[in-house]
Amino acid sequence: MTYHENKETIDACLASAALCHHCAASCLQETDVKMMATCIQLDMECAALCTATAQLLSLGSPHASALAKICAAACEACAAECSKHTNVHCQECAAACKICADTCKNVK
């Protein structure tokens, strides 16, 4: 598949990666950082996978589909964790991760 055929997923992955980075950085500023440890870990993992998935999709890699499935699972886990927190950055991250997961599931 080409860049243009995967543009929606690429854009969703890049948006999710950016918001995961923002969420992790913001969680580090919370009063109780220990309570946010799982959120921060999942944010960083998700951002890495989203970035890699966007790159492989942009390249038209035959491995992109397999990575997209892993990315979808990571995004779902991150969204579930972020949804537990009421702060704005976690809620934004959860929303972006849900969109990314949905688009990644459709990669062929």
List, for residues 51-66, the tens digit of each pLDDT value: 999 999 999 999 999 9
How deeply is 4 buried, as exposed, middle or buried, from its count of CB atoms within 10 A (0-12, 13-18, 19+)?
Answer: exposed
Whole-number Cα distances in Å, 41 to 10, 65, 86, 88, 97: 22, 24, 18, 18, 14
Which residue bears the tokens 């934004």? 92
pLDDT tens profile 70-105: 999 999 999 999 999 999 999 999 999 999 999 999
pLDDT tens profile 25-46: 999 999 999 999 999 999 999 9
d(CA 47, CA 97): 10
How many structural domains does the chain have? 1
Contact (CB, 8 A) for 21 and 89: no
Which CATH number is 52's domain given? Answer: 1.20.1270.360
Three-point CA angle 49, 50, 51, nearest 5°: 90
pTM score, whole prediction: 0.96
pLDDT at 1 over 80: no
Which residues span the domain enclosing 44?
4-105
